[in-house]
Amino acid sequence: MNIPELVKTADGSDTLFVREIDEHYHSTFGAVQESMHIFIEAGLHQFDQASVNIFEVGFGTGLNAYLTALECIKTNQSILYITIEKFPLPSSIWNSLNYSEIVPEGNPLLFQMIHNAAWNEKVKITDRFSILKRSADLTDIDYSSFPMFDLVYFDAFSPEKQPELWETGIFLELASHCAHQAKLVTYCAKGVVRRSLITAGFTVERIPGPPGKREILRGTLE
């Protein structure tokens, strides 16, 4: 994949644009606003248990990991954040993202630590937040070394651009590595995705999306 281009979204936060597939990493209505709404509020905030294992599809800019680590500092929860990425970004790109300045109570050091954490090793970032960044392809991932997931941030590029990442088989495999009552959140509310999640064993809710997106999906594994 070519190096993506930095672009500004409507809430002032940066995102990246991949010209060859005509796709942004986040909503152009607001990258931080979207991540907060979908992954933090509709996802992480649904958990009050002492420890949460999160699995993210697509580490990308590290925005979801960063927002999750910031939330973790405010609570007593312990989080293990497992994330996979097929195309890790060069430091010249992630260093120029403005998330540390734009996010309230931002923490530039935390953002740097998340990005500088070695790939394919579990790294302790704070007392209660550890990250394991796996350089891997979702279509070819071996889940066996991971603990069971409580929460999945499904943040792949759209099904129009990468249909192979949204197939029922992907969700079935993921579900087999999720704890009872695990939740999966995604920005994509398409019927085909909803049906795949249901086939994989999730009860799926359509919930209101962030600005620019009428609905998003949240699945709960029964």
Ligand X SMILES: C[S@@+](CC[C@H](N)C(=O)[O-])C[C@H]1O[C@@H](n2cnc3c(N)ncnc32)[C@H](O)[C@@H]1O
Report the residue number, 76 or 92, with the smaller CB distance to ligand X.
92
Helix (H) or strand (E) holding 175, with range, is: helix 168-175
Task: Provide, rounded to whole angstroms, the least separation between the CB of residue 203 and ligand X.
Answer: 24
| 143 burial level (CB within 10 Å; 0-12, 13-18, 19+) | middle
Report the residue number, 50 or 161, with the smaller CB distance to ligand X.
161
Report the residue number, 59 or 202, with the smaller CB distance to ligand X.
59
Cβ atoms 195, 182 nearer than 8 A: no
Report the residue number, 131 or 138, with the smaller CB distance to ligand X.
138
Task: Provide, rounded to whole angstroms, the least separation between the CB of residue 46 and ligand X.
Answer: 19
Task: Provide, rounded to whole angstroms, the least separation between the CB of residue 221 and ligand X.
Answer: 21
Task: Provide, rounded to whole angstroms, the least separation between the CB of residue 75 and ligand X.
Answer: 21
Report the residue number, 25 or 81, with the smaller CB distance to ligand X.
25
The residue number with the shortest CB distance to ligand X is: 60
Please enumerate, as own/partner, the contacts of 204-208 that have beta carbons within 8 Å and a separation of 24 or more: 207/42
Cβ atoms 201, 222 nearer than 8 A: yes
Q: Report CA torsion sign: 91, 14, 39, 60.
A: negative
- Residue 58: partners with Cβ closer than 8 Å, 6 or more residues away: 83, 84, 85, 155, 156, 157
Task: Provide, rounded to whole angstroms, the least separation between the CB of residue 36 and ligand X.
Answer: 11
Which positions touch ligand X (CB under 6 A)?
25, 58-61, 63-64, 84-87, 137-139, 155-157, 162, 165
